[in-house]
Amino acid sequence: MEELLQPRHPLDKHHQAQLQALQQLPEGQRAAMARLFRLGNATYRYQQLADGEVTEEDYRHWLEGLPERFRQAMEKGGFAGAKSSLALRRHALERRDVGYSAFMQAILSPEDWALEQQQRAAAGL
């Protein structure tokens, strides 16, 4: 099962839970679920790069690019309320030239990267 989870979740308790979930599935469903886990694990690792790195300057810069109503909602909670936002974390990383696509392509297998690209295209991203 370990070979199905590369990249693995960096937190062992979550990795173990993923292994257990895969073991409980019928064999024909394991590959698809493992792929979803791998994509989620890679995304989690990307977001962790921003831990402690999001600044108030990032927050102000991010607010400038938001649609008016969303910006107003994000301003209500202030920096403290928004700094754990996945969108703000990604914005901060990309301001530091740590792009999501480059990171994902580097960490995923070519097959998983192709699926990620297909899903993004289907979602219009």
Residue, of 50 and 81, whose pLDDT is higher: 81
pLDDT tens by residue, 105-125? 999 999 999 998 998 889 887
Grade residue 47 by pLDDT with cuts at 50, 70 and 90: confident
Is the pLDDT reported for residue 52 higher than 80? Answer: no
- C-alpha 68/C-alpha 63 separation (Å) is 9
- Give the type of residue at 48: Q
Looking from the CA of 53 toward its CB, the CA atoms found within 13 Å total 17
Is the pLDDT reported for residue 8 higher than 80? Answer: yes
* Cis status of the peptide bond prior to 26, with omega within 30 of 0: no
Is the pLDDT reported for residue 1 higher than 90? Answer: no
pLDDT tens by residue, 62-87? 999 999 999 999 999 899 999 888 89
Helices and strands per DSSP (H, E), number in the chain:
7, 0
Grade residue 32 by pLDDT with cuts at 50, 70 and 90: very high
- C-alpha 85/C-alpha 97 separation (Å) is 19
